[in-house]
Amino acid sequence: MYEIVKAHPLSEAVFEMWIRAPQVARNAQAGQFCIIHPDKAGERVPLTISGTDGDLIRLSFMAVGTTTKLLASLSAGDCLRDVVGPLGMPSDIAKGPETVVVVGGGVGVACTPIIAQAAKDAGNHVIGIIGARNKSLLILEDEMRAICDELFVTTDDGSYGIKGFASGPLQTLCESGRKIDKVWIIGPGMMMKVTSGVTKPFGIKTYVSLNPVMVDGTGMCGSCRVTVGGKMKFACVDGPEFDAHQVDWDDLLARQRMYVPEEKQSVEYHDAHHECRCRKVA
């Protein structure tokens, strides 16, 4: 069993928890993930490792499905049945000096600090861009501001920071003539597709962290297959980070929608039979 040491909401629908998992924490690197199994009746869920502290790992997630709603109802002192990791390949972070940009959208912002910190520790100049639909949904601004050399904040509705999407400041940086060596983009599939299109004309190496349906996380089931550069890859062992300009986005987005009816049915059943204990933002 893996103890939840800390758990709290980051925004209205995004939660984070710190879990005692010494072996995972000791070996985890930026870009990797783990598979958690909340209880014996629950499903296996892949979540990116968004931070480590001693023998603790941080997991962040949006409570939208049956299992993530269950996770959001847990508190410090509760335990998870299994935590398997670290899985996947770590981020391709080179020793600096390089100028790198780390872009996060929505819940994807939760995965940006660990990459930004690793890039900073390697001697790179780190520019952060984080965005959300509105100010109330923006997360981890203070943490990113403490890590990054420069930080741009956007909101879709203009309620805070720069009005518009995270792709806006990235477009401005690319057009400014500044030398940018690498870009990481993490967020919803469509956001990553659109934002990575900004860097393509400039030939900037761009990575995205893909999140297809995943079951075992070891390459055995094949459910997380994605098409990259015209070849089939498994996100769990070949990724989860891939060259954004080589990803078949239409294939990825279609696969992400494969089980929407079943997911909706599961949530409806869960909501009808369980009282929601999700913590609310004060």
List binding-site positions: 221, 224, 236
Residue 148's nearest CA partner among 164, 133, 127, 132 is 127
The answer to whether 96 and 38 have CB atoms below 8 angstroms apart is no
DSSP annotation of 247: B
CA angle 4, 52, 93 (to 5 degrees): 150
**Contacts of residue 268, Cβ cutoff 8 Å, sequence gap at least 6:** none
Distance CA 216, CA 85 (A): 11
Residues making up the binding site for [2Fe-2S] cluster: 221, 224, 236
SS (H, E, C) 159-191: CCCEECCCHHHHHHHHHCCCCCCEEEEECCHHH
Q: How far is CA 242 from CA 127, 138, 239, in A?
A: 20, 26, 6
Residue 17's nearest CA partner among 63, 67, 72 is 72
